[in-house]
Structure 1
């Protein structure tokens, strides 16, 4: 990863995160990526408080995960994130999960999120300030392990 990505999560794999063969279960990868997503959204100004106060929400339209290497109980985890694309209503972004000590990549996910009006239950434009911040964080050349 280059220095342009942003750390959005730091944590630990606990024994109850592991499956019957001793690896962190896929549901916990998704959970840790979700926590990273909310940190990234917060950096853009899409905090839970702002979303509630303005009748807005964020919903996932697409998520792809590439599992690269297992994590086990006791492993330290770091997620770094990059914004790939900003549109009127959507954000496309990626998270890379690393072993916090060895640095190897454990998993990569790519997501597309849409801003929604929670009363109308329809997609709506992202706030101008959010799009402006997001444009300042764009990393469109970020390499992913699949073709879009």
Structure 2
């Protein structure tokens, strides 16, 4: 059993943020490129092309961020099949540095659907046969660490966000540039909205570090270690969104964030996400640990009942 190479390329300066490393949005964008490569290996070379009769939609991403990627870096990606059901499959995409160190992993659930309606239908036998040859096992470094992958019945809604007084972290509208060949939001746009709104949620934690024990003169940033994203709906150009987010817990190293990307028209979720994040000393490139006083202050403002 062996993964196959499905993507390779560089990290552009404009793909990196003020932390000096590639932004999470572009990890997902490259994972989608890798998914196209893996689909071709499965016998679906034009699955994301206009005119395709069948395509793949992502139901879920579980992402582990393992090594930073900086401007000018070269990366390559391998892919394989973890398991395949009647209409869905769980795939593993792994992003590597040239020396073979894993950069990030994407445990991805996809559905085999009709291109226009998005209606699930069974995998053809030829794809099932090819999937057997591409079967891989989940490496330890790709396994869930701080996030559970249990089935989710989401509690997210605009009404519940209002009841919780959940922080408003973003709002806007999707346009044609945000959509794929079938008119549906590209998955990296979900991560993009989360990244754009993170300062609204993370700012209080940074203030507590400054007040309670950050190294003197340290430039403080942040980084994600692990994410789970669940996609429930696929906005089209002209559809609006509102992002409501909050901290649910913390310890001395990490904070747990919950994000709800909601449709303001219906109140239902386009998607939800859970993230494990750290504060980062941008010069030493090390985790900044939070003293007990900072943890207590953050917990007083956290939403302990907040879930996916």
TM-score range, shorter chain: 0.7 to 0.9
1:6 matches 2:167: yes
Question: Pick from 265, 280, 286: which aligns with 1:122?
Answer: 286
Question: How far apart, in 2, do the equivalents of 1:55 and 1:80 lie?
Answer: 27
Counterpart in 1 of 2:236? 72
Out of 95, 100, 112, the position equivalent to 2:259 is 95
Q: Is the 8 A contact 1:62 1:112 kept in 2?
A: yes
Shift of 1:127: 6.9
Name the TM-score, length of structure 2 as normaliser.
Answer: 0.42
**In structure 1, how many angstroms separate the alpha carbons of the residues matched to 2:307 and 2:205?**
26
Give a deviation string over 1:89-122, Cα, whole Å, max 9, x none: 2110110000122211100010010112222221
Distance change >3 Å, CA 65–CA 121, structure 1 → 2: same
For residue 107 of structure 1, the aligned residue among 271, 282, 285 is 271
- Tell me how far 1:134 sits from its aligned partner: 2.2
Does residue 86 of the first structure (1) align with residue 250 of the second (2)? yes
Match of 1:19 among 156, 180, 184: 180
Between Structure 1 and Structure 2, whose CA radius of gyration is higher?
A: 2
Consecutive unaligned residues in structure 1, runs of 5 or more: none
Describe the SS at the equivalent of 2:194.
helix
Q: Which residue of 2 aligns with 1:62?
A: 226
- The runs of 5 or more residues in structure 2 that have no matched partner are 1-159
Count of aligned residue pairs for this structure pair: 140
Task: Choose between structure 1 and 2 for higher RCO, CA contacts under 8 A separated by at least 6 residues.
Answer: 1
The residue aligned with 2:304 is: 140
- 1:22–1:133 distance in 2 versus 1, CA, 3 Å: farther
Q: Deviations over 1:57-86 (max 9, x none)?
A: 111000110001111111111011121111
> Which residue is equivalent to 2:189?
28
- TM-score normalised per structure 1: 0.83
| Structure 1 residues 73 and 133: alpha-carbon distance in aligned structure 2, compared to 1, 3 A threshold | farther
1:34 and 1:122 map into 2 onto residues whose CA distance is: 20
